[in-house]
Amino acid sequence: METILFNDSPEDLYKAAELIKNGEIVGIPTETVYGLGADASNEDAVRKIFTAKGRPADNPLIVHLADFNDAVKYTSHIPEIAYKLADEFCPGPLTIILPKNDKIPSVTSGGLDTVGIRVPAHPVMRRIIEISGCPIAAPSANTSGYPSPTTASHVMYDMSGKISAVVDGGQSEFGLESTVISIENEDTVRILRPGCVTSEHLSRICRNVIIDKAILKEVEAGETVSSPGMKYKHYSPQADIVLLEGAIEAFTEYVGRNYGDDVYGLIFDTDAESFPYRYLTYGSNDSQLAHNIFSKLRELDEMGAKKVFVRAPSKEGVGLAVYNRLIRAAGFEVIRI
């Protein structure tokens, strides 16, 4: 199959929407990362997503809608707190897990009786939802296990020949996937995957915000998890990633001791001046780290890096989301120095 590269002109968005309406799958820009979009109500189309990504069948897909009020069409119950959260954070990088109805096939929900609903803000994704008239199931448009794509060329690299088209809508603003939450009761939500909507943001609307323990640790074999995605190795480039937690002086000393031909540092912009080894930087504040992390991991592969020591972000605010991706990219190899 030849994968067409569309731009964000009205004609191209119309063609992309037609493909989705006809059961094909298309790479689409969103403000979080690029998604691999299909009609969420079409089982055959959704199966194509799992095949193209090599995604485990029990890892559910998020369903994207143009308006949170459309969630009534695909769910059996919407708690009041969900509307309050949607008023504040939709459109935006927040996914709310709700009980699904039979409009969402089991293949889309990975066999669960719930569905994650998100209202994206990116104008290209919104336009494609509107023109197609479809609820769009869209996981990140990477090969399963590899870093998520934040540009159209990342999607082409992973998916060329496997999907109908990619729409180029520029670089994703946030650079990390959405925050995924479940609702425990009218006062309590649980963060299953951290993102750019942080627990501090959620606390403004909801009294209790629980951070699921699986966010910062490895899921044991056989352990039940609230979000199936937490079980899998994720976000990993070819290079071996090691996360180093500590000050730049200790980081530099550690890398120096382990330095070799194929070793790189992935450090903060502010570290660069004092770091004498090969490196890339990925920003200086949490939003920049989030924006850049996946593209830098891919860039390190392009450079032929075999081992990369990454300077760990804080676990506060958006830093927690970056940290959550990095410990998985590192296969939980974290060293405190």
> Which chain residues interact with ligand AMP by CB under 6 A?
59-62, 97, 109, 112, 114-116, 139-140, 177, 180, 192-193, 226-229
Q: How far is the CB of 328 from ligand AMP (least distance, A)?
A: 10
Query: Residue 35 or residue 265: which is nearer to ligand AMP going by CB?
Result: 35
Where does this chain touch Mg ion (CB under 5 A) — which range of 40-48, 67-75, 132-140, 303-311? 132-140
Contacts of 232 (CB under 8 A, 6+ apart): 56, 59, 144, 145
Query: Residue 143 or residue 226: which is nearer to ligand AMP going by CB?
Result: 226
Q: How far is the CB of 126 from Mg ion (least distance, A)?
A: 21
Take residue 130 and report the two structure tokens written for it: 């509107």
Residue 60 site contact among Mg ion, ligand AMP, none (CB < 5 to 8 Å, cut-off depends on kind)? ligand AMP
Q: How far is the CB of 274 from ligand AMP (least distance, A)?
A: 36
Query: Residue 147 or residue 265: which is nearer to ligand AMP going by CB?
Result: 147
What number of chain residues touch Mg ion (CB under 5 A)? 1
Task: Report phi then psi at 32, rounded to 5.
Answer: -90, -75
Rounded to whole angstroms, the Cα distance separating 33 from 180 reads 14
Query: Residue 229 or residue 265: which is nearer to Mg ion going by CB?
Result: 229
CA distances from 164 to 16, 68, 150, 227 (A): 9, 28, 19, 29
Q: How far is the CB of 200 from ligand AMP (least distance, A)?
A: 21
Residue for token pair 């909801």: 206
CA distances from 317 to 15, 120, 199, 201, 234 (A): 39, 21, 7, 9, 21
CB-nearest residue to ligand AMP: 229
DSSP string for residues in 271-319: GGGG--S-EEE--SSHHHHHHHHHHHHHHHHHTT-SEEEEE---SSTHH
Contacts of 99 (CB under 8 A, 6+ apart): 75, 76, 77, 113, 114, 115
Scanning residues 134 to 173, which ones bind Mg ion (CB under 5 A)? 140
Residue 287 site contact among ligand AMP, Mg ion, none (CB < 5 to 8 Å, cut-off depends on kind)? none
Q: How far is the CB of 62 from ligand AMP (least distance, A)?
A: 5
User: How many residues comprise the chain?
Assistant: 337
Take residue 49 and report the two structure tokens written for it: 């997503």
Query: Residue 64 or residue 311: which is nearer to Mg ion going by CB?
Result: 64
Q: How far is the CB of 144 from Mg ion (least distance, A)?
A: 7
Q: Residues interacting with Mg ion, by CB under 5 A?
A: 140
